[in-house]
Amino acid sequence: MAMGLTSADGKFLKEQAAKRKKKPTYEERQAASKKAMRDEARKRHAQFKKDRTTKGKGNKSYNKGKPKSEWVDSAYDRRQKDADKSMRDAARKRHAEFLKKRKEKKNQKQALKISKGSSNASKVMSGNFMPNIK
């Protein structure tokens, strides 16, 4: 017996097809991207304008949430200071890792030297040690 689609099944499939989102075209994606960029630029422009009219350094957007000792005069200075801080933090982390590896290497060498030295000492004590004398 062949099973066909009922009208309820057909209706369900049409609803599912309508719910599926069609993939946006290249032009639609570009338009959405431009719109998002314009919105972001509009917000940034409004914030810069507000920062220019604000008098106190503590009320500037680029100093918000920072302690008074870290306040700067401009957004440019904030970007420079943040970049410098992140660079120094990364260097500090790399240096700490370097020191840790160096210490481990030094300890391994020292342990190897001690183990070699103890084996030679045992040979000397046992009388089986013959130095190379020419």
Q: Distance between CA 59 and CA 80 in Å, rounded?
A: 19
The pTM is what? 0.49
pLDDT per position as a tens digit, 22-35: 788 999 999 999 99
Q: What is the mean pLDDT of residues 47-54?
A: 89
Q: Distance between CA 87 and CA 77 in Å, rounded?
A: 15
Half-sphere exposure of 94 (CA within 13 A, CB side): 6
Task: Flag whether pLDDT at 123 surpasses 60.
Answer: no
Report whether 25 contacts 14 (CB < 8 A): no
Which stretch of DSSP H or E encloses residue 5?
A: none
With bands split at pLDDT 50, 70 and 90, how would you rate the model's confidence at 76? Answer: very high
pLDDT per position as a tens digit, 94-108: 999 999 999 999 999
